[in-house]
Amino acid sequence: MVYKSGIKRVKGGKTLKIDLDVESGIIKDIIISGDFFAYPMEAVDELENMLKGASVSNAIEIINCFRDRIVFIGLTIDDIIDLLRKILFL
C-alpha cells in the first residue's frame, strides 16, 4: 500500500487536501478534506465512497460524474481533479 497526499490552496478560495492509499492501481482509501464548503455535504462522502475500490485510471471519470451534483464554494471540482492528477501523476 502506498500512501500519497497533496494540498492545494485555491486562489481566492479555500484549502483542499487529498489523502490516498493506493495498492496495485486501486484506490483503497481516499479522504478529501479542507476548509471549503459543499452543498449537499453528504455528496462529498458519497464521492469518496465511490472512489474507494475504484481503479486509479477511472478516478477522474468518477469525479466528473459529480460535477452537477455538488456545488462547491471555495474551490471547484476541477481543483479536486487537478490535485488528484498531481498526486497520482495522471
* Residues contributing to the site for another protein (CB under 8 A): 7-9, 11, 13-15, 17, 19, 31-41, 44, 71, 73-74
Residue 33 or 55 with smaller CB distance to another protein: 33
Smallest distance, another protein to C-beta of residue 26, A? 21
Environment class of 38 (CB within 10 Å of its CB; exposed 0-12, middle 13-18, buried 19+): buried
Output the smallest distance, CB 71 to another protein, in A: 7
Cβ closer to another protein: 42 or 57? Answer: 42
Closest C-alpha to 19, from 8, 31, 7: 31
Task: State the minimum distance, in angstroms, from the CB of residue 57 to another protein.
Answer: 26
